[in-house]
Amino acid sequence: MTDRTTSFIELLTTHDRALSLYVHSLVPRDSAAEDILQQTKLLLWKHFADFELGTNFLAWARKVAFHQILSHRRQKKREHLPLDEVTLEALGAAVSELASDIPQRHEALRHCMARLPVEHRQLVQLRYYEDLEIEQVAERVNRTEAAVYRALSRVRMTLMECVQKQIATELA
């Protein structure tokens, strides 16, 4: 593989989830979103020689995706489309802005998770990382479902407040 090919693969792999979330947030049907995403990736590869390494790959990829979304909408003009292009563009900008906070929020969440008592971390791990249902979590930790609901509710509130404080501290 050439260095340019390796660079493309690394950049696309790094930003694949964010790009996918961007497209899926602007396209109501999953099948259409996947088609647009695949076409976007093909265009990114085809025009990667035009991309200046060291600049913002995700911003460039979102711009290409946005134009693919507009193209898709024009092709589907006969169907009822709930948003006009101006609204869609504003929504795209808002999604991009919100998505740019994600790495900072992830880091703040990691910091806050580390500060939780072990039993609270275990509840979060079982419910959200292992994706167990509340009944299954309750069985694992030998507590009632109601107790697990209450505990998770408190833990979520604690994490939300901690993340907000952590981000505010970093911005100050």
Q: Are 69 and 26 in contact (CB under 8 A)?
A: yes
Phi, psi of 87 (to 5 degrees): -65, -40
The CATH fold assigned to 103-171 is: Arc Repressor Mutant, subunit A (1.10.10)
pLDDT digits (tens, 9 = 90+) for 125-146: 888 777 788 899 999 999 999 9
* Buried b / exposed e along 75-109 (16+ C-beta atoms within 10 A): eeeeeeeeeeeeebeeebeebbeebeeeeeeeebb
pLDDT digits (tens, 9 = 90+) for 108-121: 888 888 999 999 98
What is the location of CATH 1.10.10.10 in the chain?
A: 103-171
pLDDT digits (tens, 9 = 90+) for 136-172: 999 999 999 999 989 988 998 998 899 889 888 877 6
CA distances from 147 to 74, 94, 119, 127, 156 (A): 52, 38, 13, 14, 14
39 pLDDT band, cuts 50/70/90, is very high
User: Spelled out in words, what is the top-level CATH class assigned to the domain 3-100?
Assistant: mainly alpha
**Which segment of 8-12, 62-66, 90-94 scores lowest on mean pLDDT?**
90-94
Q: What is the pLDDT of residue 67?
A: 87
pLDDT digits (tens, 9 = 90+) for 80-103: 555 566 666 776 666 666 565 667
What is the location of CATH 1.10.1740 in the chain?
A: 3-100
- The CA-based angle 14-129-135, given to 5 degrees, is 155
pTM of the model: 0.49
Q: How far apart are CA 39 and CA 11, in angstroms?
A: 17
Return the half-sphere exposure (C-beta side, CA atoms, 13 A cut-off) of residue 156: 8
Tell me the two tokens of residue 9. Answer: 């693969």
Tell me the two tokens of residue 109. Answer: 């969440």
